[in-house]
Amino acid sequence: MPEKGEKAENKKVTYETCTYAYNVHKILIYIVISYIVNTCLRTQLRVAFSSYCFLTALIRKGMNAVNKIQFIENINDSVILYVDEDNIELVKLKNDGMLINKKGTFLHRDIIGKEYGSKIYDTLDKNFIYVLKRTPELIATSLKKKTQTLYEHDISFICLLCNALPNKKIVEAGTGTGCLTYALANCILPYGTVYTFEYNEERYNEVKKEFGNFGNIKNNIKFYHKDIINYRFDEFMPDDIDSVFLDMPNPWLCVKNVKKILKERGVFVIFLPCIEQVYKINETLEEHSFCEIVTYELINKSWKIIFNKNEKRITTQRKDGLSNGSHLVLPDNPLVDCASLMYRLCQRENKTHTGYLTMARKQLNDEHEQVEFEFKGVME
C-alpha cells in the first residue's frame, strides 16, 4: 500500500511540475524533462511523464496552428464568399473593396479579422453571407467559366489517376481556368511542383495573376506560356516527371516528347470529349510502347432532399368513382407534422457526359531497349 501511495504522489508532483515548467519555459521544458526523467523517476513514471509532455506539446502546437489559419489577417488575401448555393465567389480583399449582390453591399474591411465560417452582414445589417477558406472544390465552383471547365468529379479522379501525392512532379497542359491546377498543387505540397502550360496569352496572364494571391501554393506552380505541341522539354531532365495530364484536342502529337520526361512506370492521363479522339490516342500510345491503357467515363449524379414543412391532415382516397386526385378529409383526422413524414428526393441539374479519361503507364523498358544477356555455364 505505501508503494501505491508513493507512486500516486510522485505522479501528482511530476504532473504539477511538468505543467508549471511547460507554461513558464516552453521549449526549455524538454531539457528539464530529460534531466528529471533520467535521474529521479522510475520507468513507469518516466514513460507517463514523457507521454504527457509530448502529447501536450502536440496539442498546443496544433491549436496554435489552427488559430493561425482560422482568421483572415491581411489585405490582398483571397477568400471564398458564399452567398447561396448557386452564387459562390472568389474575392481578393482590398482596403476600399466591396461586394454588391442581391443580398446587399458588403465591405471588404468588415471581413478582416473574422474567423473562417463567420457571417458577414451587409451595410444595413439585414442580410449576411459567409466567408470560407479556399478549397479545391470551392475554387472549381467559383472560378469564372471562361473555358470548358473540368467538373469536380473529373478533377478528383484525375488527381487519383495522376497519383498526386506530396512532393510529386506533375506536368499539365492546358491550364484553362486553373481549377485542376489548384487541386493538383494542394495535393503535392509541401515540396512538389506542378508545371502547367497554356498557349492562350489572355488566359495565361489571368490565371497567373489569380494564383499570385494564393500564398500557400504559388511557389509550387510554374507557369509556361507555350504551345506544348511544339515544346521539346529541353528544360526538363529525362525520366524526371511522375505524371503528365493533357487537356487538349490533339494530344497524340505530344506523346513522343512526353514519354521522354516521364519516369519509368510514370502515369500519362488524357482528357478528351469525343470517342473518336480516344481511339486515336490509344493507337498512338500503343505505338510508343505505353502499357496498362485504360479509358474511363464518369457519370455524376447528385441528389438533394427537400422536406415539406407544412402541417396537413391525413387524407384518405375516395373509392366511390370520383376522379383521381380527389381526397376525403376525415373529421377526426389529426394534424401531423409532415416535415418528418413527407419528403422528396430532387435530382439536381447534372452533366451526363463531360469527357473520357484515358490513363497509360510508361513501361520499365521498351523491347528494343532491353539488353540481352548471355549466360555461359562452366563445366568441369
Residues 182 and 254 in one domain: yes
**pLDDT tens-place string over residues 73-131:** 677 788 999 998 888 889 988 888 999 999 999 999 999 888 899 999 999 999 999 99
How far apart, in whole angstroms, are the C-alpha atoms of residue 158 and residue 180? 8
pLDDT tier for residue 68 given thresholds of 50, 70 and 90: very low
What pairs with residue 172 in β-bridges?
Answer: 196, 245
Residue 273 lies in a domain: yes
- Asked if 180 and 282 sit in the same domain, the reply is yes
Closest-CA residue to 81 (of 92, 71, 70, 73): 92
Same domain? 178 vs 210: yes
| Residue 288: CATH number of its domain | 3.40.50.150
Measured CA to CA, the distance from residue 124 to residue 100 in angstroms comes to: 13
Indicate whether 256 pLDDT > 70: yes
**Same structural domain, 15 and 94:** no
Residue 310 lies in a domain: yes
Residue 96 lies in domain:
78-133
Do 271 and 359 lie in one domain? The reply is yes
CA distance 1 to 194: 65
Is residue 268 located within the same domain as residue 320?
Answer: no
273, exposed or middle or buried, with CB in 10 Å at 0-12, 13-18, 19+?
middle
Give yes or no: residues 100 and 167 share one domain: no
Place of cell 448555393: 85
- Specify if 376 maps to a domain: no
Please give the pLDDT value at position 147: 62
**35 assigned to some structural domain:** yes
Task: Categorise residue 292: left if φ over 0, alpha if ψ from -120 to 50, beta otherwise.
Answer: left
The CATH number given to whatever domain includes residue 100 is 3.10.330.20
Contact (Cβ atoms closer than 8 angstroms) between residue 134 and residue 214: yes
Give the contacts of 377 (CB within 8 A, at least 6 positions apart): none
Same domain, 192 and 336: no
Tell me: pLDDT of 166 over 70.
Answer: yes
Of 166, 157, 171, 74, the C-alpha closest to 113 is 74
> Same domain for 167 and 207?
yes
Strand 262-272 versus strand 241-247 pairing type: parallel
CA-atom Rg of the chain in angstroms: 31
Whether 239 is covered by a domain: the verdict is yes
Tens digit of each residue's pLDDT (9 = 90 or more) over 313-354: 444 444 444 444 444 444 455 554 544 545 566 666 777 888
40 or 128, higher pLDDT: 128
Residue 111 lies in a domain: yes
| 84 and 230 co-located in one domain | no
**How many structural domains compose the chain?**
4
Task: Please name the amino acid found at residue 116.
Answer: Y
Q: Is the residue at 379 inside a domain?
A: no
Task: Return the higher-pLDDT residue of 250 and 148.
Answer: 250
Kindly report whether the global pTM for this prediction surpasses the value 0.85: no
Query: Is the model's pLDDT at 377 over the cut of 90?
Result: no
Say which residue, 65 or 17, is predicted with more confidence.
17
pLDDT for residue 367 is more than 70: no
Q: Are residues 215 and 281 in the same domain?
A: yes
pLDDT at 42 over 50: no
Strand duo 241-247 + 343-347: pairing? unpaired
Rounded Cα distance between 338 and 341, Å, is 5
User: Are 199 and 255 in a shared domain?
Assistant: yes
Position 358 in a domain = yes
Residue 134 has pLDDT above 60, yes or no: yes
